[in-house]
Structure 1
């Protein structure tokens, strides 16, 4: 996802310099060589994200820091703190609920004091899910309920950080916004049948994502925000591991992830990664009537996550966001959904639809 963001930024005409800060310097150098001559200067800086002083120094002098470094329960709060200290606006694809909650509670005040804008969770989900919810909610007098449903094929999203994230969100209590407060419900404790674009009707379960943490901050009339997800047949294994508390701590997640990484299916070489599916439902009241609206779409994880991150970074750098005040925000509070969805379509061809049959594209 990070390399996709770099590729997208390199095509942006007003980006002058991109610094790739990565522990994997060889991989970063290879990416820089591949993009050489594309436009902006691309600098590689070897970096261990656990060294706070080095991170601050690496960020200083840039307009925006864009992070795809997971697992976010381990890295998000330290990176946000470093960006604020360096005097740099920040955007990430943080999808772990606990990291989002921690950054809001611990660093929102500091970001406001320093005038730094921090946007957490601008990928697919959270990210496009939040923007779809915001687009629909703003058409209502009183939005009441948001349900985000995701299908991630087990063959998609390779990488240790993705696997650690899935183990984390299924491994313990998960946030659900109910009756004006955040409640913790065991992952897998809520199960529903949902019709998803391309994937069809399937069973999905609640898991620990960031949408229930951020959306009610910006839409105070919301009574319920629920995140539901399936990773196909492997969902049962992840839930089982969570119930046995084998993924109850970061250290346990690391051990289990090292084993599962050798067992999970991967696409055959040369075979494109299968697309996942996203559906966002918003229910509310408009002109005294109950209304229910929905947006959905499909796409491969890499472009559907990395491109929104890059577009959000450019919008922050240009000042094309909905606030000038510092603070920690979900994307729904600062990113114009129409502008980003239009940019995503132009960059990737990915499209939002108003029906699960994907016959009615959203006109933006």
Structure 2
């Protein structure tokens, strides 16, 4: 299997590529992106480690870098034409998601990304008929949130007999990457794509499922959920794809949204920044730089880590409905994640698209959200191997 990793030298992309290196059925990996110098350095390290580990099947596969400007459609199509599978980590996805998926479908290549914006998610799902025509299997949003979160939602929801509400939520304090030696310093003028995504989510209306209808609302709306055994949790809404895809898996769903946990003390600051962007007083990129400034990010993350409840997992799924004819709720989370922070928790799930495809677990053609086509138990069995000796510690709790 020949793999094109678009954005493969970025933080999440590097994690996906490293994971893909461990699959013996992968014959070649092309690390493609606009930062050719970074890609070359990353590829050099990968090839050096491969040589040092010996001439085994798992590590003798070639890895090479490719300069690729994804806005050049001819170059994009040519790069895709030469491979079997496209892994797309190039964000922000509200800019690049639709055109890259479209190119993969037109070239007849299987595709997976980590799209975390709801707007392109809606548009990409509309490409499913064309993907079926070209015998393409595409999974969008297979990262942490969305991705792991969607599959945790399935575990929570299916623990009940009927489900009417699903909430996925995550800790902002976990949205940091460990330094793997390749991250660009903030003072080089690079804009962090994850920060751009967050500002985009906070400064525009978000789509959620409420009372059985898709509606657009302001982000950072506060709510409380009574999570089994963990108690009452505060959630602030955010515009992630889970809210617009989970009703495809659970058509009787009435309410669904995604949100952040543990931001009580900084929510007003986030609202101020988002309001300035929404009013045109600050550009999205400038707001993203403000969030990722070394001193402000360190202070914010330290404060979050000190103030949040340690027993609350970093990523949770909550479902409410009925069990045995009585009102009930269920929750799901993982206790352990791969080392490396947000990058690995996002990139490794994307790489798992490869064995899921290779082993025949993804038999349908079309464009899908993770919960529509992936068996959570199969996914977490694969994910466990990257989480240390105890695995992910998948936990499902119910109360009624």
- The alignment yields a C-alpha RMSD, in angstroms, of 2.8
1:163 corresponding residue in structure 2 = 195
Do the aligned partners of 1:148 and 1:280 also contact (CA within 8 Å) in 2? yes
Pair 1:54 & 2:93 matched? no
How many residue pairs match? The answer is: 345
1:205 matched to 2:230: no
Task: State the 1:191 CA deviation.
Answer: 3.5
Aligned to 2:354: 313
Cα offset for 1:209? Answer: 0.5
1:351 equivalenced with 2:382 (yes/no)? no
1:261 deviates by 3.0
Q: Tell me, yes or no, if the aligned pair for 1:194 and 1:203 is still in contact at 8 Å.
A: no
Aligned to 2:381: 342
Q: TM-score normalised to the size of structure 1?
A: 0.86
Paired residue secondary structure (1:304): helix
Task: Give the Cα–Cα distance (whole angstroms) in 2 for the partners of residues 294 and 193 of structure 1.
Answer: 10
How far apart are residue 42 of structure 1 and its match?
0.8
Q: What is residue 250 of structure 2 aligned with on the other side?
A: 219
State the secondary structure of the residue aligned to 1:149: strand
Match of 2:211 in 1: 179
Which SS does the other structure have where 2:396 is aligned?
coil
SS of 2:100's partner is: helix
Q: Deviations over 1:201-232 (max 9, x none)?
A: 76431110000111111210111112111474
Q: 1:32 aligned to 2:43?
A: yes
SS in structure 1 of the partner of residue 352 of structure 2: helix
- Measured against aligned partners, the alpha-carbon deviations of 1:317-340 in whole angstroms (never above 9, x if no partner) come to 44322x42x222100011111111
Gaps of 5+ in 1: 268-272, 357-364
The Cα shift of 1:83 comes to 0.7
- 8 Å CA contact 1:187–1:239 kept in 2: the answer is no
Bigger drift between 117-126 and 39-48 goes to 39-48
**Distance change in 2, residues 1:154/1:334 (3 Å):** closer
Q: Secondary structure at the match of 1:264?
A: helix
CA distance, structure 2, for counterparts of residue 355 and residue 156 of structure 1? 28
- Contact 2:155–2:396, Cα closer than 8 Å, also in 1: no
Change (3 A) 1:156 1:195: farther
Give 3-state SS (helix, strand or coil) of 1:177's partner. Answer: strand
Is contact 2:240–2:258 with CA below 8 Å preserved after alignment? yes
Q: Which has the larger radius of gyration?
A: 2
Q: 1:168 to 1:50 in 2, by over 3 A?
A: same
State the Cα deviation string for residues 93-150 of structure 1 (Å, max 9, x = none): 1111111112123x22322222212211111111001011112333443322111111
Segment of structure 1 superposing worse, 289-298 or 80-89: 289-298
CA contact (8 A) 1:180 1:222 kept: yes
How far 1:304 moved relative to its partner? 1.1
CA pair 237-102 structure 1, distance change in 2 beyond 3 A: farther
Query: Aligned equivalents of 1:213 and 1:227: distance in 2?
Result: 10
Distance 1:225 1:3, change over 3 A: same
Pairing 1:1-364 to 2, within 5 Å after superposition: 1-36=12-47, 37=50, 38-105=59-126, 107-153=127-173, 156-157=176-177, 160-192=192-224, 203-230=234-261, 232=263, 233-244=265-276, 246-247=277-278, 252-262=283-293, 263-266=295-298, 277-297=314-334, 299=337, 300-321=341-362, 323-324=363-364, 326-349=365-388, 350-354=392-396
Cα distance between partner residues in 2 of 1:242 and 1:155: 18
Distance 1:92 1:171 in 2: 24
Aligned in 2, Cα 1:155/1:143: closer, same or farther, shift over 3 Å?
closer
Aligned to 1:359: none
Deviation at 1:237, TM superposition (A): 2.2
282-291 vs 83-92, greater mean Cα deviation: 282-291
Q: Cα offset for 1:41?
A: 1.4
TM, length-normalised to structure 2: 0.78
- Cα distance in structure 1, aligned partners of 2:233 and 2:154: 25
Q: Distance between the aligned counterparts of 2:60 and 2:298, measured in 1?
A: 34
